[in-house]
């Protein structure tokens, strides 16, 4: 799978862009704040339906304009396919897949597969558990779009149960809570099964990729930490009852779980340097790509934003060796990094304009 053409109209700082891309590595280079990351964002929206930078579509529309248009053409096993996205400030986005209007966002998933690394991903490793849960759920949803339904239904019931617990005022609400727990148990089972399974695959592949990038200097482990055991969900919910009544809210479940990441046996949130964190997240995202490839039979497009910062030359070269056979988009502000990729296609980005650069021959 690889993107052959990207067209943007009134998106971010691009009044109009229509540019071909190639299999292998495509490097977008130039000074900061010129529009390099905007191209990755556009590709990500075409693949996932959402930005990896902002929560509101309106923020991606060019200033002073009412809407933006994105078009990605790509090859999937020699078949030409396309995704179109129309973003509006005042309405929901509309989508077309191969020229046919999509009914909802879920229809988009499972078409153009993309995996993104951005500097913001470093927060996932070090900050709140909600970021790690969100990452995990997002990757699972790419493989199993129906998983989104279980998440939404679980969140809806948790919100309803929390509202009842908060307003209990000494009333006997045991029967109501029993009904909530009976509904929750099924969704918890689906969520835990998928999260445990994905984490086991992720841990195995991350260890392999991390060794390749770090040169075998460090060991990584990733483990899913559940607050409710998968094999005793109803019993665990029952045990939580008194504490929930005392605290006025749900105290355990997938919305309270976490991913534990360790570097050489130590908690990465405490002991990792910025360079080690970046290496870890690169290994994680490459592993996510491998899981997608194993699960779907398609090789996703890899988006690497500002990937080379804080990596030494050896780790940069080791990373590049892992990209064989993957269409990759890399942004960098450093000309030297761009030239490091001997077989890459180079694109110079300046003030919302993109030019393909021809390499100098000796």
CATH of residue 248's domain is 1.20.1050.90
Model pLDDT, residue 169: 65
**Would you tell me how many other CB atoms lie within 10 Å of the CB of residue 271?**
12
Kindly state whether residue 230 falls inside one of the protein's structural domains: yes
Residues whose CB is less than 8 angstroms from the CB of residue 211 and which lie 6 or more positions away in sequence, other chains included: 219
User: Closest Cα to residue 251, out of 260, 267, 239?
Assistant: 239
Q: Are residues 49 and 179 in the same domain?
A: no
Q: Does 31 show up as a binding residue in the annotation?
A: yes
**3-class DSSP state for residue 120?**
coil
pLDDT at position 122 is: 86
- Whether residue 36 is annotated as binding a ligand: the answer is yes
Which of residues 297, 316, 332 is at a domain's end? 297
> Are residues 88 and 132 part of one domain?
no
pLDDT tens figures, 79-136 = 999 999 999 988 889 999 999 999 888 888 889 999 999 888 888 888 899 999 999 9
Considering the domain architecture, whether residues 256 and 302 belong to the same structural domain is answered as: no
Count of residues making up the chain: 362
pLDDT tier at 362, thresholds 50, 70, 90: very low
Q: In Å, how far from its chain's centre is CA 264?
A: 25
Instruction: Supply the DSSP string of 31-51, one letter for each residue.
Output: STTSSHHHHHHHHHHHHHSS-
327 a known binding residue? no
Number of domains in the chain: 2
Instruction: Tell whether 164 and 203 lie within a shared domain.
Output: yes
Same domain, 350 and 266: no
User: Which of 127-131, 145-149, 189-193, 316-320 is predicted most confidently?
Assistant: 189-193
Instruction: List the strands of the sheet with 301-304, edge to edge.
Output: 114-117, 301-304, 328-332, 25-29, 345-350, 353-357
> Do 197 and 55 share a structural domain?
no
**Residue 309's pLDDT band (cuts 50, 70, 90):** confident
* Together in a domain, 155 and 255: yes
Has 24 been labeled as part of a binding site? no
Do 200 and 302 belong to one domain?
no
Question: Is position 64 within any domain?
Answer: yes
- Asked if the structure places residue 119 within a domain, the reply is no
Measuring CA to CA, how many Å separate 16 from each of 68, 70, 212? 10, 10, 40
Domain boundary pick from 242, 263, 297: 297
pTM, two decimals, is: 0.87
Same domain, 3 and 82: yes
210-224, 243-257, 267-281, 329-343: which has the highest mean pLDDT?
Answer: 243-257
Nearest to 180 by CA among 198, 207, 153: 153
Do residues 250 and 260 both lie within one domain? yes
Between 324 and 99, residue with greater pLDDT: 99
Round to whole Å and give the CA distance between 139 and 148. Answer: 11
End-to-end C-alpha distance for the chain, whole angstroms: 33
Q: Are residues 185 and 281 in the same domain?
A: yes
Task: Judge whether 34 is annotated as a binding position.
Answer: yes
Could you tell me the CATH number of the domain that includes residue 101? 3.40.50.300
Q: Which domain holds residue 158?
A: 127-297
Same domain, 236 and 99: no
* pLDDT tens-digit readout, 67-79: 999 999 999 988 9
């Amino acid at each position: 799978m690889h993107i052959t053409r990207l067209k943007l109209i009134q998106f971010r700082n691009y009044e109009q862009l229509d540019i071909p891309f190639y299999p292998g590595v495509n490097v977008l280079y130039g000074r900061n704040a010129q529009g390099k990351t905007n191209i990755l964002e556009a590709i990500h929206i075409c693949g996932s339906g959402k930005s990896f930078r902002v929560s509101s579509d309106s923020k991606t529309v060019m200033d002073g304009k009412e809407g933006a248009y994105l078009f990605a053409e790509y090859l999937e096993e020699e078949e030409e396919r396309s995704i179109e996205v129309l973003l509006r400030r005042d309405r929901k986005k509309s989508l077309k897949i191969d020229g046919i209007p999509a009914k909802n966002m879920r229809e988009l998933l499972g078409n153009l597969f993309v995996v993104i690394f951005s500097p913001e991903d470093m927060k996932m490793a070090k900050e709140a558990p909600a970021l790690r849960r969100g990452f995990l759920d997002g990757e699972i949803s790419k493989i199993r779009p129906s998983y989104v339904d279980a998440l939404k239904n679980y969140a809806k019931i948790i919100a309803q149960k929390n509202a009842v617990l908060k307003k209990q005022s000494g009333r006997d609400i045991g029967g109501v809570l029993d009904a909530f727990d009976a509904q929750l148990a099924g969704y918890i089972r689906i969520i835990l099964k998928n999260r445990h399974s994905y984490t086991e695959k992720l841990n195995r592949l991350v260890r392999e990729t991390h060794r390749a990038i770090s040169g075998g200097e460090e060991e990584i482990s990733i483990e899913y930490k559940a607050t409710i055991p998968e094999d005793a969900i109803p019993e665990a919910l029952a045990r939580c009852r008194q504490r929930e009544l005392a605290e006025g809210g749900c105290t355990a479940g997938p919305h309270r779980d976490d991913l534990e990441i360790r570097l050489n046996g130590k908690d990465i949130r405490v002991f990792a340097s910025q360079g080690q964190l970046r290496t870890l997240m690169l290994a994680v995202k490459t592993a996510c790509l491998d899981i997608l490839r194993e699960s779907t039979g398609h090789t996703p497009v890899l988006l690497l934003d500002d990937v080379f910062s804080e990596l030494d030359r050896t780790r940069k070269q080791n990373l590049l060796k892992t990209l064989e056979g993957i269409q990759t988009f890399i942004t960098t502000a450093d000309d030297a990094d761009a030239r490091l990729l001997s077989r890459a296609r180079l694109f110079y980005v300046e003030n919302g304009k993109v030019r393909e650069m021809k390499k100098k021959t000796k």
